[in-house]
Amino acid sequence: MLTKRIIPCLDIKDGRTVKGVNFVSLRDAGDPVELATKYAMTGADELVFLDISATEQGRKTMADLVLQVAAAVDIPFTVGGGISSVADVEILLKNGADKVSINSSAVRRPALIKELSEAFGAQCVVVAIDAKKIDDQWWVHLVGGKQATDLDLFDWAKQAAQLGAGEILFTSMDHDGTKSGFANEALAKMSESVNIPIIASGGAGSMEDFYNSFTFGKADAALAASIFHYGEIGIPALKTFLKDKNIPVRL
């Protein structure tokens, strides 16, 4: 049985780790290299590094900072933000990233998913989807949640998988930073509609929330930020809790 993964997320703005609520009200959470080192040493299965203002500011992900983080960790490391071409990914992989996460650029040009999958392998391509529930339907949002689209969450997830995505990173904008639990109903529906791993994101506030994401939400991995950054939950304790509840994790 495949183990469930615990993934801290480093949202980066101006070279610092930040965290907000519902994608706004950002506050400083520390030095990304220091945090990445701590997580790698305390049992994180992977890391996600998202340069959250790269797309909005029309620039590329900070490759130098990627190089520093990659040098500090020995676990798989996913990088996202401002990626729009094969050449962008080549630079990030050369600087130590193991996977890349694409979001707005994939929606604007879906062929990018296929291009990256063919160039680097599906296992390298994570399609991140930020969505908000409006009138009982989940709608995809772009540019760090600032731009609404008329794209249905589940339709887009299926299309991304068909085009060659290796994983989906689904963030519920409604749950982000609220510590009220993951969007398990939507996660379960997505898991049933695609045959690639789903990473749950948005809403982690307790150890029970992770358990629920793996059971009710059928997620393959769970990502969180503030509860790890501010020391509210330790990864070793979380994994022990999950193991005691018969969730397969790597200790």
Show pLDDT as tens, one digit a residue, over the chain (251 residues).
Answer: 689 999 998 888 776 777 555 544 455 556 888 889 999 999 999 999 888 665 555 545 678 888 998 999 999 999 998 899 999 999 999 999 999 999 999 999 999 999 999 999 999 999 999 999 999 999 999 877 788 999 999 999 999 999 999 999 999 998 887 899 999 999 999 999 999 999 999 999 999 999 999 999 999 999 998 899 888 999 999 999 999 999 999 99
Distance of CA 38 to the CA centre of its chain: 18
Query: At 221, is the secondary structure helix, strand, or coil?
Result: strand
Closest Cα to residue 116, out of 85, 143, 139?
A: 85
* Partners of 13 in beta bridges: 16
Q: The whole model's pTM is what?
A: 0.92
CB 169 within 8 A of CB 5: no
**Cβ neighbours, 10 Å, residue 231:** 8
Q: Yes or no: is domain 5-244 CATH 3.40.50.300?
A: no
| Domains of the chain by residue range | 5-244
Active site residues: 11, 130
